[in-house]
């Protein structure tokens, strides 16, 4: 199976190991991740301003690149995935946005109308590979590991657009953890914001939000918190106290025996 892959900025800089875990795990599961040529930053956040087009053009170029190959477009970072998915939805559902975008890209001979399937790596694992196949490929079952799955904001919301899972009661991370042999534990703050986007100018608020999440996980009696957002990972690690915080691709690579 081949898919187009949008890495994004963070996984090429401060989170290179998270990308390495994902690519090695995909290969072990029979998936070839073909990195898009000449990709650019997704924009970092999706703005709902209807007359703001320029920052979305890089996402449209990536979506079109995958379309030209007849492949799904996969991202490992939930922030990149959020921007790609919302841009794709806007192209399909907002005629004015679509027309303005295609007018911008006409000089590049690009006309894109939302044809590409946009997947987060977690969806690729669940919907294309399958948890049974993953379970069969596990060589190092994560037995006796008690895990809290932390979703954050961007992976599931806005729910009508993302459509990955139930935004209020998701299970995609917990189901993956079970397939790897670990024991997922539910905790009250798994869908709450970590304060990541406020950390530059409201450090106290960001720290307080992260502390609520970490304290809730500690009360659940877990060994580790697993997340699918590099920004959440950074923010929780910065404030962690007694509970280890890891990215889901690291647990996957460990269970599949490809983590060095």
pLDDT tens, 130-169?
Answer: 999 999 999 999 999 999 999 999 999 999 999 999 999 9
For residue 45, the model assigns a pLDDT of 84
Write phi, then psi, for 214 (nearest 5 degrees).
Answer: -65, -40
Task: Characterize 192-209 residue by residue with b for buried, 16 or more Cβ atoms within 10 angstroms of its Cβ, and e for exposed.
Answer: bbbbbbbbeeeeeebbeb
What is the length of the chain?
260
pLDDT tens, 72-107?
Answer: 999 999 999 999 999 999 999 999 999 999 999 999
For residue 201, the model assigns a pLDDT of 60
In the DSSP assignment, the letter for residue 154 is T
Tell me what the pLDDT averaged over the chain comes to. Answer: 93
Q: How many whole angstroms separate alpha carbon 112 and alpha carbon 99?
A: 10
For residue 240, the model assigns a pLDDT of 84
For residue 198, the model assigns a pLDDT of 63
Question: Per-residue confidence at 239, pLDDT binned at 50, 70, 90?
Answer: confident
pLDDT tens, 196-230?
Answer: 766 656 666 778 889 999 999 999 999 999 999 99
pLDDT tens, 24-66?
Answer: 999 999 999 999 999 999 988 888 777 788 899 999 999 999 9
For residue 208, the model assigns a pLDDT of 84
Q: How many whole angstroms separate alpha carbon 244 and alpha carbon 148?
A: 10
Handedness of CA 16, 18, 19, 23 (dihedral sign): positive
pTM comes to 0.95
Query: Which domains are present in the chain?
Result: 2-121 (1.20.1050.140), 139-256 (3.40.50.11810)
């Amino acid at each position: 199976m081949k898919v187009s892959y949008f890495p994004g900025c963070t996984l090429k800089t401060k989170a290179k190991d998270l990308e390495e875990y994902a690519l090695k795990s995909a290969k072990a599961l029979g998936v070839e991740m073909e990195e898009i040529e000449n990709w650019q930053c997704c924009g970092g956040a999706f703005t709902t301003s209807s007359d703001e087009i320029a920052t979305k053009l890089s996402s449209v170029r990536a979506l079109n690149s995958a379309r030209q190959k007849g492949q799904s477009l996969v991202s490992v970072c939930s922030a990149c995935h959020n921007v790609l998915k919302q841009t794709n939805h806007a192209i399909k559902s907002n005629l004015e946005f679509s027309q303005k975008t295609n007018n911008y890209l006409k000089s590049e001979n690009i006309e894109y109308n939302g044809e590409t399937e946009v997947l987060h790596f977690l969806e690729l694992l669940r919907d294309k590979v399958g948890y049974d196949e993953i379970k069969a490929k596990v060589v190092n079952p994560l037995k006796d590991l008690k895990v809290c799955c932390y979703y954050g904001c961007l992976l599931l919301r806005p729910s009508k657009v993302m459509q990955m899972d139930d935004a209020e009661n998701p299970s995609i991370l917990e189901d993956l953890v079970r397939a790897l042999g670990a024991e997922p534990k539910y905790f009250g703050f798994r869908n709450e914001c970590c304060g990541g986007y406020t950390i530059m100018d409201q450090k106290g608020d960001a720290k307080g939000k992260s502390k609520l999440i970490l304290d809730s996980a500690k009360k659940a009696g877990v060994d580790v918190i697993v997340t699918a957002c590099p920004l959440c990972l950074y923010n929780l690690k910065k404030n962690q106290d007694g509970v280890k915080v890891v990215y889901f691709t690291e647990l996957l690579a460990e269970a599949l025996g490809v983590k060095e």
